[in-house]
Amino acid sequence: MSQLRKIGALIGLSIILASCGATPVAQVPTDVPRTTETTITLPSPTRPAASSPAVSPADPPTNIPTLVPTLASSPTAIPSVASTAVATPLPATATPIRTTATTPPSAGSPAAGTTVLRLAAGSAAGQVGVTNTDGPTTFRIAADGSIRIMDTINKRLLFFNGTSGKLEQTINLSFLQRPTDFVVTGKGDLYVLDGGGWTIDHLAINGKELHNIPLSPATKGLFSTIALTADGRIFGLAQNKSYLLITPGGPLPPEEQMHAVQDGLFTVRSNASFALVKESVRQVLQIGTGQQPKFVIGKSQEQVQFLDINQGMEPYVVANVNGLDEVRRYSLGGDLMGTLQIDQRGCRPTLRPIYIDRPGAVFTMCVSTNGLSIQRYVMHGAQGTPLPLTNVLLTNVPWSPGSLQAAPG
């Protein structure tokens, strides 16, 4: 009887649940693992690769060693990675530091640059000779981004990859008395100024000596650097004067060099001269002769020097402002586009401490007892925005050469 009562109670309970609309739920077995939460990691956003510019006559020929281009070849501003450049010791063959300061400095304060190459003092491969009073004299940034340094004490020319910092080539100059400056032609030939022997040595790209060109004794001490023009002339550069030494047809006889002097300085990216002229209370930059424009670049009492032009034909000058080097960039219309103040008071005086590369980035070479460092700077305009670089050669400007085939720098 008790069993019948239990059965009846269960039947009654089922009828009550059915009337409420409830559905019995099966119990989940305890041995079934729970589903774990999955985190989806999205890929970091990447910028589209810049399209390669068309090869123009300005590009260096293929018989010049091809190196990986540096960031200077990019026409756009470098994205900000850090507010100040990191300056940690690097080995002799160094990987460049790529932290870049793009934040404009406050008014009157020097800018912070990016260390792209650091070399220790010494005579081993990838080092530079430094004494208490002497060291590397000049440097250049080539169109392919390579960094080329005159290691005067060790009597050699060093070519570094502008991206990796790797030493790509060493050219022995031990047969010269004191190599101080150099130019590289579009064919890859080298012309080295020997400040001790007072000659210009013509070398092949592999370092083989081709010619030794004597210079006039009357010009000794009047210049310490040389410049190659776009049409293949080579000048000795003095203070706002230039001495013609080599023409496309060959060297000028020594007796004619003293009298082949022109006002202004020359650059690898033009055939025109760039002369500083004082007019009353101002200084102007006179480009070429005739009706070509003048650029007002400062007051008459300022110490101003012409630096170079970029391949957009925009001129750069440097002035001494309260002990700082102030680089100024001008538009084709003569307007001041931006300035950059650099503090090099802790660096040794050199023959070429500042270099403007072809797109228009500013580089410096700082020599100390510890060695050498190359810094790259970003110029800013009045609104604090980075000034654009130029990756296209302008050919419709009066002082444009039309082609930079003869000059890879």
Sheet-wide strand order for 294-299? 274-279, 282-287, 294-299
CATH 2.120.10.30 fits domain 78-381: yes
pTM of this structure = 0.74
Q: What is the pLDDT of residue 158?
A: 98
Condensed to tens digits (0 to 9), the pLDDT of residues 274-312 reads 999 998 899 999 998 766 678 899 888 898 999 999 999
Measure the CA–CA gap between 350 and 372, rounded to whole angstroms.
11
The residue extents of the domains of the chain are 78-381
**Residue-wise pLDDT tens digits, 371-389:** 999 999 999 998 889 999 9
Lowest mean pLDDT of 36-40, 139-143, 188-192, 272-276, name the range: 36-40
Tell whether the model's pLDDT for residue 36 goes beyond 50: no
CA pair distance 383, 104, nearest whole angstrom: 9
Average pLDDT of the chain is: 78
pLDDT for res 301? 86
pLDDT at 47 over 90: no
Please indicate whether residue 347 or residue 80 has the higher confidence score (pLDDT): 347
Residue 156 banded pLDDT, cuts 50, 70, 90: very high
- Give pLDDT, residue 164: 95
Question: Tell me, what's the pLDDT at 3?
Answer: 47
